[in-house]
Amino acid sequence: MPFLAQVRATPNLLTLLRLFIVPFIVIEILDGDYRIAFALFLFAGLTDALDGLLARWLRQKTTLGQYLDPIADKLLLSTLFLVLTHVDLIPRYVTVLVFSRDLGILLIATLLFATGALRDFRPSILGKLNTLIQIVGLVAVMTERVTVTSGWEAARWMTPLTGGLLRMIAVLAPLSAAQYAWIILRRIDTPAAV
């Protein structure tokens, strides 16, 4: 499929929309309007769910989409971790561990792909769990901030939940990185079948 046709595919347009939303979420958080930021974040999540469904339903799975979708997801999550750390809603150590994990995996994957040592780099079970907990953690942080700024009583029970999720992220980030390393070492050490 030609590149422009791939760009115009509905799932890829939704992914591009998700990328377009990211700076507006940042602006709203920095301006302290967490309701709009949270609504935009939820809308971005909806586009993520829809692009995958539409790619299958419309049979518009593209090479561009295979690369663009995870980039958009990672950019959204990473940007939120950075900006929420900047406004003191996420502890720095959590964001440092998340970024260290992602950077390490990206560097290793790039080296292995460039050298041809390993082409199959699927997410591990802990990697998927880590991403899920990151998303739930970000939803909890944003929800807590919305409840606090709205004066709702629900904010009291959100604080321990959010803290627990952030601690889980801090534990899962290095554990999932270690699992990736273990999987890669095993795959590289396994002789190829002739």
Domain final position from 37, 64, 88 = 88
Same-domain check for residues 96 and 179: yes
Question: Is residue 194 a part of any domain in this protein?
Answer: no
**Interatomic CA distance for residues 4 and 130, integer angstroms:** 34
**Interatomic CA distance for residues 66 and 20, integer angstroms:** 18
Encoded tokens for 83? 């900006």
Give the number of other CB atoms < 10 A from CB of residue 64.
Answer: 17
Same-domain check for residues 97 and 173: yes
Query: With bands split at pLDDT 50, 70 and 90, how would you rate the model's confidence at 120?
Result: low
Q: Kindly state the average pLDDT of the residues 109-136.
A: 79
Same-domain check for residues 83 and 99: no
Please provide the DSSP assignment of the chain as one string: --HHHHHHSHHHHHHHHHHHHHHHHHHHHHTT-HHHHHHHHHHHHHHHHHHHHHHHHTT---HHHHHHHHHHHHHHHHHHHHHHHHTTSS-HHHHHHHHHHHHHHHHHHHHHHHHTS----PPPHHHHHHHHHHHHHHHHHHHHHHHHHHT-TTHHHHHHHHHHHHHHHHHHHHHHHHHHHHHHHHHHHSPPP-
**Among 77-81, 153-157, 189-193, whose mean pLDDT is lowest?**
189-193
Give the number of other CB atoms < 10 A from CB of residue 48.
Answer: 17
CB 13 within 8 A of CB 35: no
Q: pLDDT tens digit string along 59-74? A: 777 777 777 888 888 8
Domain final position from 68, 88, 108 = 88
Domain total for the chain?
2
Same-domain check for residues 18 and 82: yes
**Interatomic CA distance for residues 11 and 8, integer angstroms:** 8
Which residue range forms the structural domain that includes residue 150? 90-189
Average pLDDT for the chain: 85
Encoded tokens for 43? 């809308």
- Tell me which amino acid residue 130 is: N
More confident residue, 157 or 30: 30
More confident residue, 68 or 20: 20
